[in-house]
Amino acid sequence: MSRKIILLAAIVAVMSSVLTVVSLQWTGAINTGKIQVEHVSATPAKQTNYTENMPNVAGLPSFTETAERVVPAVVHIKSTQTNPTRNQGPQARIPDLFRDFFGDQLPQRQGTPQPRVGAGSGVIINADGYIVTNNHVIADADDVEVTLSDNRTYKADVIGTDPSTDLALIRIKENDLPYLPFVNSDEVRIGQWVLAVGNPFSLNSTVTAGIVSAKARSINILREQYAVESFIQTDAAINPGNSGGALVNLEGGIVGINTAIASPTGSYSGYGFAVPANIVQKVVEDLMEYGTVQRGVLGVMIRPVDGNLASEKNLELTTGAYVDSLMPNSAAAEAGIKAGDVIIAVDGMEVTNSSELQELIARHRPGDEVKVTVDRNGKERVFNVELNSREGQPELMADANRELSRTLGAEFRTLDEETATELDIPGGVVVERLYPGKLRRTTQMREGFIITRVNDQLIRNVEEFNEALEGRQGGVLLEGRYPGEPGMQYYAFGMDQ
């Protein structure tokens, strides 16, 4: 009997060992040298909730159709600065070609500066070759080259720039191009899927996906006096080279133009920022129609309202834009708005911070009338405000000679009387902005130069400057000065070059 028990125990032990080995092999605890691959015919996922303007399909969203539609309309931009020393201070003022003619005795230039090449992205916005990009992509360029997604390459002309929003409009000579439409960025919702399309690190036609993570962000990246920062924030990967590329919804409409990243390393860290489509569209329309951006202003200095400011000023609300002070020739002051008011809406659209107020006003031109709702001592009041220009006038400031401005690659304005008096000159023309054109290619001119003479003809305003150069052929000598720098400066170039 004992032998049977021992035999039975032995059989049980053997079977137990066999079952243990089989079990361990099945769970992968023992390495048998074989890898088992499991194929899944469908992605196991739950129904995804979409916003109203997105496809209502089951499972995770597919970005393939959107990418196929969008990629051909996003371009690579190469900007070349042939004279990187231009912004480092005064250089030789007259090229050798003009020395005998103008008689200026200057030392010879030393050495040849090496070209500096930058890269970015752009978005084709109509079939005739108009492309929107960031101003910082082409700001210092002497030459702008555009490469399409099919590798066709073109030289681009700069139509205009707007450093206040970091936008620029360029054009290539081609027709029947693929392009993307704008969408109403007011309707973009936090949590909505978006794609970022561009050329990060010169990796052409790169598409990344993410969501809109915030709106009306100000990150203090633009250094312009009248900067407008009300960015759409996204977690779609954006890196150097994406600047000027498209942020689109799943229908392929332009939600914004990718502009900046927030990163301690200079590369993607989860936060990217795009200029909203509504601002982009208004800037583009102005540059096409007027040659310069027509920006209406309220004429107020503002601060965002928060809990601390509410306590300090005894306010009954913790959102809005607090009117800290009023500027000279203020349109808001003329309408009846006072310092201490809190702006809470524009044309019925809620204002929760100063960035939103900047965005809403930046969509308007001088002369436009807006309804501004303010909270004054706990009571709401509505004011009809006719917006002014930066100069305090309600009239549009159209470029009197757009073709000349594009040829020279500059924007000009008449010197104000106060500055003219300080400099003890009868007047002049300020070179407000430089972009690719004759002045940048052939001279060392810097922004801020005040032109006082053209070929020994006295110049006091933009009208006289345009008349002096209208139909001009051959050599041109510009005389003038820089505020804060001693002596006169001279720049020469050829109008028929």
Closest CA to 375 of 309, 440, 437: 309
Residue 35 has pLDDT above 50, yes or no: no
pLDDT at site 270: 81
State the CB neighbour count (10 A cutoff) for residue 432.
14
pLDDT at 245: 96
CA–CA–CA angle 354, 356, 358 (5° rounding): 70
pLDDT of residue 32: 36
76, 136, 142, 205: the catalytic one is: 136
Question: CA 253, CA 243: separation in Å to the nearest integer?
Answer: 18
> Among this protein's residues, is 243 annotated catalytic?
yes
Query: Sorting pLDDT into bands at 50, 70 and 90, what band is 411?
Result: confident
Q: pLDDT band for 43, please (50, 70, 90 cuts).
A: very low
**Catalytic residue selected from 166, 235, 286, 341:** 166
Among 164, 218, 230, 243, which one carries the catalytic annotation? 243
Q: Tokens at residue 224, please?
A: 């312009």
* Span 85-92, average pLDDT: 49
* Residue 247 zone, left/alpha/beta (φ > 0; ψ -120 to 50; rest): beta
- Full 3-state SS string of 131-192: EEECHHHHCCCCEEEEECCCCCEEECEEEEEECCCCEEEEECCCCCCCCCCECCHHHCCCCC
The pLDDT of residue 45 is: 30
Whether the CB-CB separation of 302 and 334 falls below 8 Å is answered with: no
Which residues lie below 8 Å from residue 287, measured CB to CB, with a gap of 6+?
Answer: 159, 160, 161, 162, 169, 293
Residue 20 has pLDDT above 80, yes or no: no
* Mean pLDDT lowest among 103-117, 184-198, 200-214: 103-117
Comparison of pLDDT for 30 and 384, the residue scoring more: 384
The pLDDT value given to residue 291: 80
Q: Is the pLDDT of residue 495 over 90?
A: no
Q: Region 373-379: what's the mean pLDDT?
A: 95
pLDDT at 434: 86
pLDDT digits (tens, 9 = 90+) for 197-222: 999 988 889 999 999 999 999 988 88
Q: Is the pLDDT of residue 24 over 80?
A: no
**Predicted pLDDT of residue 84:** 61
What is the model's pLDDT at position 389?
85
Return all residues near 185 (Cβ < 8 A) that are at least 6 apart. Answer: 232, 255, 256, 276, 277, 278, 279
Where is 280: in which H helix or E strand? helix 277-289
Q: Residue 404 and residue 357: Cα distance in Å, rounded?
A: 35
Indicate whether 290 pLDDT > 90: no
Decide if 136 is catalytic. Answer: yes
User: What does the DSSP 8-state code read for residue 48?
Assistant: P
Question: Is the distance from CB of 478 to CB of 453 less than 8 angstroms?
Answer: yes
Q: 384 burial class (0-12, 13-18, 19+ CB within 10 angstroms)?
A: exposed
Report pLDDT for 106.
41
Question: Does the pLDDT value for residue 140 go beyond 70?
Answer: yes
Which pLDDT score, from 0 to 100, does residue 479 have? 95
The 10s digit of each residue's pLDDT in 321-368 is 999 999 988 999 999 999 999 999 999 999 999 999 999 999 999 999
The chain-wide mean pLDDT, for the chain, equals: 82
**Residue 37: pLDDT above 50?**
no
Instruction: State the pLDDT at residue 96.
Output: 41
